[in-house]
Amino acid sequence: MTRRVKFEKLIKINHELVFREISNFENYVNYVPGCSNAELVERTDNYEVGKLEFNLLFKNYTITSKNYISDNKIKIEQIDGPFISFEGEWRVIKKDKSVTKIIFTANFELPSLLNKLLSDNSIDIFFENSLEGFVNKLSD
């Protein structure tokens, strides 16, 4: 069963600063709940490969993703990890000089056991907390 999430937030911070923070893969350890390590594995002109390590539900997980970065968007594709499939996207939209709209979307499929353990509400809370982590850091 494919699940979908979408979160949007308007913040009073310059869009370039927002995008720079979100595109810094190694900082995810500071924002994403349960993330114990974030490592940039490879960088090319077209994409980056990153690895995130998590400790969730008393188990360790590693997610390796290929991230395509453009002017205001990061497209995320899982290469290896606990998801059957995962595709996500960050979009950072300039509304005016100091107002930015952040949009995060993801489509993913979990293995049967995780799918049964994780309610839609718990998944929404996880992604919402990740987005709030970025926003709070930028607001400091």
Over the chain (140 residues), what is each successive 10-residue block's mean pLDDT? 90 92 88 89 95 84 95 95 94 94 93 74 81 76
Helical packing angle, 120-139 and 15-23, nearest 10° = 120
- Torsion angle of alpha carbons 1, 103, 64, 23, nearest 10°? 180
Distances (CA, A) of 38 to 2, 63, 105: 26, 10, 20
C-alpha radius of gyration, the chain, whole number: 15
Tell me the torsion sign for CA atoms 27, 67, 16, 92: negative
The model's pTM is: 0.86
**CB under 8 Å to 110, separation ≥6 — which residues?**
3, 82, 83, 84, 118
Which ranges of the chain would DSSP assign to H, the alpha helix? 15-23, 112-117, 120-139
Sorted by where each starts, the structural domains of the chain and their CATH numbers stand as 2-139 (3.30.530.20)
Task: Read off the amino acid at residue 48.
Answer: E
pLDDT at site 90: 95
Start-to-end C-alpha separation, the chain? 39
**Predicted pLDDT of residue 140:** 67
The tokens describing 134, both together, are: 């970025």
